[in-house]
Structure 1
């Protein structure tokens, strides 16, 4: 389940609508992450990713640094329930062509998973299944 991936992850990095792209880029670099959520009182307004910044850099040039999160964010943001399975999350991300998915239960933001988190979990699950089969065969 998606919720189990959130255990042990770094705290979620969020920004307000007036946060500049310059500040967002600094946060992405500092925390070694690819996206931040734009929120207002625990309500998700949008998401700003490295891809959004690159898209706006192409459109607006170097002036993009002074734009606000409101100007560059992707909105609305798709979300997933913590009880959903990894394959469902991967399908959403593949279908919609994005790499970050907020996890929300009953309107409450719990965190965010990346495609890297999901791939890592799928590999761990496959290795555990292989080990289990090896153990079963050798017993």
Structure 2
């Protein structure tokens, strides 16, 4: 199964921001949308970085109360670790594990096409395992 298969049926937009957005507004966007991270994009849809809850924590340690007044450019993780749509779910999970990240922008031809989280990939794996178990039970019952 590829990342393309995972994102194919999605009909919701990727929540993103620009690098000039104040951290205060980016934090509000994360909270309002109930998400843990979002890609930071330029005007052409290229991924400049990733802004996450972890970035906020790091900035609070480094900048204290001034964190909310800096821009996302000064807080984001850059460059972002990205993945092409043709990658397999296992490749994506291995990359996330190796690089210790929980979110991956899906990039094709230099532009973002979607965004996946470790939760998306784990859900796919659980669904696949449950489907296999159901098929095995059905096979055993019919024998």
Q: TM-score, normalised by structure 2?
A: 0.91
Moved more, 48-57 or 100-109: 100-109
Partner of 1:101, secondary structure, is strand
> When the two structures are aligned, how many residues end up with a matched partner?
139
Structure 1 gap segments, 5+ residues each: none
Q: Which residue of 2 aligns with 1:10?
A: 12
- 4+ residue segments displaced more than 4 Å: none
- For residue 14 of structure 1, give the secondary structure of its aligned residue in structure 2: coil
Whole-Å separation in 1 of the counterparts to 2:115 and 2:124: 14
Unaligned runs of 5+ in 2: none
**TM alignment of 1:85-124, pairs within 5 A:** 85-124=88-127
- TM-score (norm: length of structure 1): 0.94
2:31 pairs with 1:29? yes
1:104 aligned counterpart, secondary structure: strand
Q: Distance in 2 between matches of 1:79 and 1:70?
A: 18
Q: Distance in 1 between matches of 2:68 and 2:77?
A: 17
1:4, distance to aligned residue in structure 2 (A): 2.4
